Amino acid sequence: MPLSEEAFTALVDAGCLACQGKSQSKKVAVKALVAQRIPLHAGEPYGRPSWGYKGEDLVRGTYRVACEVCETGLFEATACPRCDSADGVERALNDENTFPLPRACRCGSELLVATAFVPAFVTYEGARAEKARTRTSPEDPGFHAFRVECTSCHTVEERRNPCPLCGSTVATP
């Protein structure tokens, strides 16, 4: 089960119970699978990526919360945060991108913006969160593009099925 927003807030608020009293720090490390927007030129990353998720997406994508000091796990999810498929987190972290980044749009423009899920790290201290970081680039496992938009004609190519995160085929009702 993914965390609810209430449960997430309570978790980062409480911090690590094992460390309480021993350490001043209430810092917890949150790991999540969230969307990042990557500008592309001729199929290659071009310029600075930006985050493309809202607070609720971070909560939904959270697969691990741990104490920064003693590394005790406070929450762990194994099912895919997007489609709920068993062990989806492990596949999302280990599998490579299956949505090739196009070199150009049909209109000829080579300036596109890709949106991809990547593993991100965020440190929380109570309600205060530091800026999310990632170490994952398009050629790394864990990078999963699912949407590309042309900056010129705004044509969008998007993949929803199979699940862009874990590769499971999502049953359509």
Applying CB under 5 A, the residues found at the interface with Zn ion are 16, 18-19, 67, 69-70, 72, 80, 82-83, 85, 88, 105, 107, 109, 150, 152-153, 155, 163, 165-166, 168
Separation in Å, CA 138 to CA 44, 95, 103, 144, 165: 9, 12, 14, 8, 14
- For the CB of residue 94, give the shortest distance to Zn ion in the complex, in Å: 13
Please say which residue, 36 or 168, places its beta carbon nearer to Zn ion: 168
Please say which residue, 16 or 40, places its beta carbon nearer to Zn ion: 16
153/32 Cα distance (integer angstroms): 32
77/46 Cα distance (integer angstroms): 33
- DSSP letter, residue 160: -
- For the CB of residue 129, give the shortest distance to Zn ion in the complex, in Å: 18
13/8 Cα distance (integer angstroms): 8
- For the CB of residue 23, give the shortest distance to Zn ion in the complex, in Å: 7
Residue 25 has which token pair?
């720090």
5/70 Cα distance (integer angstroms): 24
Residue 27 has which token pair?
């810092």
Separation in Å, CA 139 to CA 44, 65, 94, 97: 10, 26, 12, 7
Please say which residue, 34 or 69, places its beta carbon nearer to Zn ion: 69
- For the CB of residue 12, give the shortest distance to Zn ion in the complex, in Å: 13
Please say which residue, 8 or 27, places its beta carbon nearer to Zn ion: 27
- For the CB of residue 28, give the shortest distance to Zn ion in the complex, in Å: 9
Please say which residue, 49 or 88, places its beta carbon nearer to Zn ion: 88
